[in-house]
Amino acid sequence: MTGAQASDGHTVSYSQTTITELMIPAYANFGGKIHGGTLLSLMDKVAYVCASKHAGNYCVTVSVDNVHFLAPVEVGDLVSLMASVNYVGSSSIVVGIKVVAENVQTATVKHTNTSYFTMVAKSDGSEKAVVPPLILQSVEHIRRFAGALRRRRLRSYMNERMDEYKKDFVVDEETRAFLANERCVIRLES
């Protein structure tokens, strides 16, 4: 590793990134709130900056976990997206992102989103690049690293179970009982 890719790693603070942007009317949906897609685009941008700084390489988004819109964002709000590397694998980087919206007229600040973007570092030849280790300097850093590892393992476990479920799926009495109180009507055609 050379340059920004120190073999002993980078601290969490090394690549922490905050982007703040004014929400303008062009970002609004028909209900007058900011489009979720606009927020996701900004989150992807801050994840890229944070991951690329840690990796010292170009990074691409491979997955997004836990996008929950907790509160609407209004036109005129200042939105700050705070990104931090939570976990690194050999070429992958999990970036945690917290989004807050501030109404500058009322000085009201609200947490609107938290999400986790998994990025992969790429070399000049588009091959996966090895990323520096993450230096954990606080209990919070260790908790976030362990939490990201747990989410990764749970996602793998869940994907395996869902693959089995799809492969073995049949519409039987157990399936009908499972769906009995849901808002669906089963009308299989022969």
- pLDDT digits 0-9 by tens, 53-92: 999 999 999 999 988 899 999 999 999 999 999 999 999 9
Residues 125-132: what's their mean pLDDT? 92
Between the CA of residue 147 and those of 32, 139, 153, 154, what are the distances in Å? 36, 12, 10, 10
> pLDDT of 4-38, one tens digit each?
445 689 999 999 999 999 999 999 999 999 999 99
Burial readout 161-186 (b: 16 or more C-beta within 10 A, e: otherwise): eeeeeeeeeeeeeeeeeeeeeeeeee
Residues 110-135: what's their mean pLDDT? 94
Query: What is this structure's pTM?
Result: 0.89
The strand pairing partners of 11, in sequence order, are 135
Tell me, what's the pLDDT at 144? 97
